[in-house]
Structure 1
Amino acid sequence: MGRFRRFAGNRCSLCWAWVIVAACVGVAGAQTGDRSRPATSGTDLYEDLRLFVDTLAEIERNYVKDVDRRQLIESAIRGMLHDLDPYSNYISPEQLARFNQTVEQEFGGIGIQVTRDLVVSTPLPGTPAYKAGIMPGDRIVEIEGQRTVELPRGRRLEKAIELLKGPPGTTVRLKVFRPSEKKELEFELTRAVIHVSTVLGDHYRKVNGEHRWEYMLDPEARIGYVRITHFGRHTAEELKAALEELKNRGMRALILDLRSNPGGLLSQAIAVCDLFLERGRIVSTSGRSVPPRVWTAHEEGTFAGFPMAVLVNRFSASASEIVAACLQDHHRAVIVGERTWGKGSVQNVIDLDDGKSALKLTTAKYLRPSGKNIHRDVGDGPNDEWGVSPDDGFVVKLSDSELREYFEYRRRRDVISDDGPPKSDFTDRVLEKAVAYLKEQLGLKDSKDEKKDDADRKAGAPSEASAKEAAAKDGAAKRAAPGKTDKPAGAKPAERGKPKRTSQPSGSQSSPDGAGEGEAKDRNRSERRFRSPRRGRASLLFDLPAPAGGVATTVPEHSLGSGLRRVRAVVSLMGVCPRPLGGGWWL
């Protein structure tokens, strides 16, 4: 203990020395799998820490320049966690503030989304910036009298975020350059509580003078579209509201877009899965020092009776992989796009330093309902089991240049406009593939198929639709043949992933689009037609034992914390905070 007396003159440093001691005790305890005591005695632990204390003391005494002791200690903590795995991190006070804003989906600001160059992508409807008339394309050139070009290089965006965000009710002055008017405009805005939705539509539409997301991708086919950017505190609640709106408008099929979704709260991923499943396992977790857990779905509040497609890409990770894997294993949705990232670990965010900072520590891994692995370990190759792969026939690989074009295309469609979505020559091949599949499930023809059928009829050849119908009848006959099953030997009879029909609320058969009884009959017919594209594979999902009962729509975070103290949140997230790939940063 003698060497620790060197820090006695500085209470802050002594506190941080104890933070490291506590962290080391925790790691030592984890090595034994016994949460009740560390692997080594306190005396042995202090002996092990002498090397660190001596090194820090020598740096302070003899390094050529003055050093920031707190910064050195934080760097030491980061180095220690870096040796564990890529997803365990130390969260500094500054990062913790941004993390909380990401998870809670709220912050004090003005309500604009900006690019790295401080160009406004779009204002958020109803926010101070939106009401003041700040427009997409405006470039922020001055904040509180300070020109943005004079902000520290390499930290310009970070510094601008610090200046623009602040407590609700306070004011901020800024100037923007508007290219269309070729002049600078000055604004004084009062900051407000900004709520950032994680559930978006395809584009904005104007309803009663207000801009709202359009969730109906194809009004004629009544195909809905919802996009989840990450899993925050209110994601399941927002998704449920969007689904209710689509249901009231007569939705017959749904696309759930999880592309570039880096993850988020585990509880919200579970709740999202539960919205689409009536029964069965959602996800299971297990760790060396935490008890195994299994979450199951329940029937109440389920949105069923329509086919689904889930879109993923190489940047879909963590909690988004939980959702994609669950719906795939249940045969509830077809997965379209690219193989996902492959992050199958769960992190607890544990308060440090009286809640001023935090430790994001990997405590468990999760398995998909089928029991298959999702996590990609270092050294795993393309032939190893990891991630979520699209269903057979639904792989749509994008080149890097096409991916960049998609991000720009998506960014433009997210801009608020009174004229509807912008015209573009870009073709979203992943979305197009999903739409074609859903139309086929609904018994509708895609415009391309109709043109091809017309050409085939003129040539006297059987149409593609006729060929598909004949193949479907042949497949149905084979499946009905006695004594033939697709189940492995010894498997129990597995339930299909086909959802049950749910009762409609009174008046729901008459939608705002004017649909009535005929629409209800069409919906019933589409439900009978819906079959999983993976029907050739036996379902492992319902053969797995699941505990009785279900999971509530909102799972309390502390219930996922595996008994660890000071757990702020349980996440399955790529980094400390999601980094925008196509849109920008909210201020």
Structure 2
Amino acid sequence: MRRNGFVALLAGIVLLSGLSLAVGEQKEPTSEEYYELMKVFVDTFQQIDRNYVKDVDRKQLVEAAVQGMLEKLDPYSDYISPKDLQKFTESVESEFGGVGIHVHFDEEQRNIEVMSTLPGAPAAQAGIKSGDRITEIEGKPVREFTSKQEIDTAITLLRGEPGKEVKVTIKHLAGDVTETLTLKRAIIKTDTVLGESRKPDGTWNYWLDETKKIAYLRLTNFAGRSGEEMQEILQQLKKEGMKGLILDLRFNPGGKLEAAVDIADLFLDSGLIVSTEGRNALPQKFAAKKFGTFGGFPMAVLINHYSASASEIVSAALQDHKRAVVIGERSWGKGSVQTVINMEVEGAKAALKLTTAAYHRPSGKNIHRFPESKETDEWGVMPNDGYVIPFSPAEYLAYHRYRTQRDAIRPREPLIADFVDSQLAKARDSIEKELTKPETATAVPPAPEDDKKDEKKPEAKPSDKSTTSLPVFSVPRDQAA
């Protein structure tokens, strides 16, 4: 490692040490205290570097020290190394350099099947359609990709710098014709707002019941353009006569605070959406604006234990303002805000994701689930009275399979005929009851009498009550490239 890079890393450690100490203590440490703390670190580093039984990678050692400090803070603060930064940015922004296709690996034929193409993207412009097969990428046969890593290898080869070319061999579904195409990568923006099922052309159907005009929008995460996506879809649904809306935030781990505010603002014409407060961050209050509000129809929001962060901001705001009924299970309980701080390591970009503030719902109720929190404590977002619908482990697995089938253009197997999404069914029932009233209100409907028993149902609990890490369960979707 070059000396300048090493010094830069140590400087970063000094800064982080100050941050970690400041978060844990109320008083500001003096320069002498900083020196004493850093002396322990430097002495330890030198002893390891000089005397450990075998050579160590200094850069890895320092990065491990950074990660160790962050682990002492909370589960959501993290160090993003240069090699992981691009993947992190792509996941947050839901955009990358690619050719504009959703794909999955067909184990039987050992090739990559194109599930859908993005209109106007390089793949679509080249004539690639749903059902086509990718047999080679950059001259490398898919059949020879490392076992169990085929889809990851394909995604890595297909993605890249916008403007750069990638060569693919395609076996077309129509006519059984094979050809090699050269595609020029472009900026690809993946959809974060999905519908209930796909149409034959791969686009989404946003109607749960087109006859009764009940729409269904499923938000996978809160990316930079999620608010814009949802606004465009809502405008189209409004033109088509939308009378009710179900917003599905189940399995949504969150994302950008700004996106959560934008989406909540689409359904609220006034009032507080969320407020944030941090030790070294100015308090902020985000209020709804009347302009551009979509109102005049009943709403239901679906959440479960894996709905976290930005999902909790939106569901809490709509619940507190009685704009929607919240249905499902108690949410995850993440009431903290992380700031991404750019860093540089030996000329390569890295980042620090640091918890800098906490957020509060309009009612003032606590969202955050602290490590010592009990099930009886106040945290997360609870469904409205009478609308707690827990899933059993078996139902989670059935939903997982059913959703995967519904998301595919051509399911590999028949749909599960006997699966009933009881949470979605409850939301639909809630909307339909509101629509049958003489005057449809946007306020939360009272719990139906025949559903009072739902209040006595046990709430679905995480397998480990003490866990504070982000949920790992998710419904897999075709990967984008």
Question: How does the TM-score come out when normalised to structure 2?
Answer: 0.83
Distance across 2 between alignment mates of 1:46 and 1:527: 66
Partner of 1:532: 444
Distance across 1 between alignment mates of 2:248 and 2:146: 37
Match of 2:307 among 316, 319, 322: 316
Distance 1:389 1:137, change over 3 A: farther
Q: Is 2:93 aligned against 1:93?
A: no
- Answer whether contact 2:20 2:73 (CA < 8 A) is retained: no
In the TM superposition, residue 257 of structure 1 has moved relative to its aligned partner by 0.8
Q: Is 2:95 aligned against 1:201?
A: no
Distance across 2 between alignment mates of 1:372 and 1:121: 46
Q: Greater CA deviation, 261-270 or 406-415?
A: 406-415
Residue identity matched to 1:205: K
Q: Is 2:302 aligned against 1:300?
A: no
Residue identity matched to 1:13: F
Distance across 2 between alignment mates of 1:61 and 1:160: 42
SS at match of 1:122: strand
Distance across 1 between alignment mates of 2:423 and 2:92: 28
- Answer whether contact 2:223 2:255 (CA < 8 A) is retained: yes
Partner of 2:73: 84
Residue identity matched to 1:93: P
Distance 1:174 1:387, change over 3 A: same
Distance across 1 between alignment mates of 2:205 and 2:190: 16
- Answer whether contact 2:335 2:360 (CA < 8 A) is retained: yes
Distance across 2 between alignment mates of 1:409 and 1:83: 39
Residue identity matched to 2:434: Q
SS at match of 2:255: strand
Distance across 1 between alignment mates of 2:78 and 2:445: 40
Distance across 1 between alignment mates of 2:341 and 2:408: 37
Q: Is 2:381 aligned against 1:381?
A: no
Q: Which residues of 2 match residues 465-544 of structure 1 at below 5 A?
A: 525-527=438-440, 531-534=443-446
Distance across 2 between alignment mates of 1:401 and 1:179: 36
In the TM superposition, residue 26 of structure 1 has moved relative to its aligned partner by 2.8
Match of 1:189 among 175, 178, 183: 183
Residue identity matched to 2:408: V
Residue identity matched to 1:79: G
Residue identity matched to 2:50: R
SS at match of 1:375: coil
Distance 1:119 1:393, change over 3 A: farther
Match of 2:101 among 101, 104, 112: 112
Distance 1:262 1:178, change over 3 A: farther
Partner of 1:168: 162
- Answer whether contact 1:136 1:415 (CA < 8 A) is retained: no
Residue identity matched to 2:75: P
In the TM superposition, residue 187 of structure 1 has moved relative to its aligned partner by 5.3
SS at match of 2:273: strand
SS at match of 2:307: coil
Cα deviation per residue 1:65-97 (whole Å; 9 max; x = unaligned)? Answer: 433221221111111101100000001123221
In the TM superposition, residue 45 of structure 1 has moved relative to its aligned partner by 1.6
Distance 1:440 1:377, change over 3 A: same
RMSD in angstroms over aligned alpha carbons?
3.4
In the TM superposition, residue 141 of structure 1 has moved relative to its aligned partner by 6.3
Distance across 2 between alignment mates of 1:158 and 1:92: 20
- Answer whether contact 1:122 1:414 (CA < 8 A) is retained: no
Question: Where does the alignment leave 5 or more consecutive residues of structure 2 unmatched?
Answer: 449-468
SS at match of 1:278: coil
Partner of 2:386: 393
Residue identity matched to 1:582: P
Match of 1:128 among 98, 107, 122: 122
Partner of 2:212: 221
SS at match of 1:161: helix
Question: How does the TM-score come out when normalised to structure 1?
Answer: 0.69
- Answer whether contact 1:175 1:187 (CA < 8 A) is retained: yes
SS at match of 1:162: helix
Cα deviation per residue 1:21-66 (whole Å; 9 max; x = unaligned)? Answer: 12123334445557xxx5221x432332222223322333333443
Cα deviation per residue 1:437-485 (whole Å; 9 max; x = unaligned)? Answer: 11111118xxxxxxxxxxxxxxxxxxxxxxxxxxxxxxxxxxxxxxxxx
- Which entry has the higher C-alpha Rg, 1 or 2? 1
Higher RCO structure (Cα 8 Å, ≥6 apart): 1
Distance 1:393 1:177, change over 3 A: farther
Match of 1:267 among 233, 254, 258: 258
Residue identity matched to 2:297: F
Distance across 2 between alignment mates of 1:268 and 1:247: 21
Distance across 1 between alignment mates of 2:350 and 2:255: 19
Question: Where does the alignment leave 5 or more consecutive residues of structure 1 unmatched?
Answer: 1-6, 445-524, 537-573
- Answer whether contact 2:300 2:327 (CA < 8 A) is retained: yes
In the TM superposition, residue 326 of structure 1 has moved relative to its aligned partner by 0.8
Distance 1:351 1:342, change over 3 A: same
Residue identity matched to 1:322: I
- Answer whether contact 1:104 1:232 (CA < 8 A) is retained: yes
Partner of 1:40: 30
Distance across 2 between alignment mates of 1:431 and 1:277: 23
Cα deviation per residue 1:320-349 (whole Å; 9 max; x = unaligned)? Answer: 011011111111111111111111111111
Partner of 2:465: none
Distance across 2 between alignment mates of 1:254 and 1:88: 35
SS at match of 2:308: coil
Distance across 1 between alignment mates of 2:204 and 2:298: 22
Partner of 1:249: 240
Residue identity matched to 1:287: G
Distance across 2 between alignment mates of 1:114 and 1:264: 24
Q: Which residues of 2 match residues 352-501 of structure 1 at below 5 A?
A: 352-353=343-344, 356-416=349-409, 423-425=415-417, 426-443=419-436
SS at match of 2:203: strand
Report % sequence identity.
43
- Answer whether contact 2:117 2:128 (CA < 8 A) is retained: no
Partner of 2:457: none
Distance 1:434 1:169, change over 3 A: same
- Answer whether contact 1:31 1:39 (CA < 8 A) is retained: no
Distance 1:293 1:159, change over 3 A: same
Distance across 2 between alignment mates of 1:96 and 1:307: 41
Partner of 1:454: none
In the TM superposition, residue 192 of structure 1 has moved relative to its aligned partner by 2.1
